[in-house]
Amino acid sequence: MEVKNHFILSNGVAIPSIGFGTWQIPEGQEAHDSTLWALEAGYRHIDTAAAYGNEKSVGQAIRDSGIPRNQVFITSKLKAELKGYEIAKREFAETIRRLGVDYLDLYLIHAPKPWNVHTDGTEYADANIETWKAFIELYEEGKIRSIGVSNFRPEHLDPVIQATGFVPHVDQIFLCPGAAQEETVAYSRPKGILIEAYSPFATGRLFQHPVLAQMAEKYQKSKAQIALRWSLQRGFLPLPKSVTRERIENNLDVFGFSMNEQDLTILDGIQLPFAHR
């Protein structure tokens, strides 16, 4: 498929087609500097979350970049264990306070259930519906330009959509070659839900696969660039994370080449020795 610099969400909002992910980057100098380097490299889409604990440093880096607020697409997320209408309203206010902004471009329910719950999460449907109602209200008030979810599968998406009639603009999931979550993708696409791919390198484990090395040699690109190009050509929005300035810059350099369909299919079928989160 043709890869553009932006995806258009179902509500018409343009979202830069690569985001800088900040998961596992601690609050402080590292989060500040890596975010600032990303912005200096040309990223205009920054992804953070309350659970990451780095919203304050990310927000400071955005201000320090000197880039106008309306030129940076900022995503954050409600903690997975915090659910309910009033809680969502309160936590959103805290997130924009920590970031030092007046609005968000995208706000996500971080997960359908608390991280320490070892069930399928469907028992949290009512709580997610109440949370989603708060998200819809914040969206309609203009405090968030788009709203969505993260780590939701069809069984989690169905109840919130049926109860409210409001389809999330985005579902951010663990997704990379070898872990494409076909069921969630197949459910989401007809509904106009954009799939974002967090951990597009499987936190580095993908780089151990020999096929990635073969593709990198064939296209004269890095393994990371191959993985990101796969995501883009498959219609997913990747969120690469790095704290190394050179890698941050290289991860954005994926628009000058294209992979053929045969090679994309080979990457579709690789086997990775882990399950998605």
In the block, residue with structure tokens 């799939």: 195
The Cα–Cα gap between 168 and 204 comes to 29
Per-residue pLDDT reduced to its tens digit, 7-63: 999 999 999 999 999 999 999 999 999 999 999 999 999 999 999 999 999 999 999
Cα–Cα distance for residue pair 17/237, rounded to 1 Å: 5
Residues of the chain below pLDDT 70: 1-2, 273-277
Query: H helices of the chain, where?
Result: 29-41, 55-65, 85-99, 125-140, 154-164, 182-188, 210-219, 223-233, 245-251, 261-268
Please tell me the predicted confidence (pLDDT) of residue 277.
45
Interatomic CA distance for residues 149 and 78, integer angstroms: 9
Q: Which CATH class is domain 6-268?
A: alpha beta
219 assigned to active site: no
Quote the pTM value: 0.96
Task: Determine the pLDDT at residue 272.
Answer: 80
Task: Write down the domain spans for the chain.
Answer: 6-268
CA–CA separation, 157 and 123 (whole Å): 13
Q: Which of 52, 139, 187, 198 is catalytic?
A: 52
pLDDT for res 2? 61
Q: What is the pLDDT of residue 273?
A: 65
Angle, CA 190 vertex, CA 189 and CA 193 arms, to 5°: 45
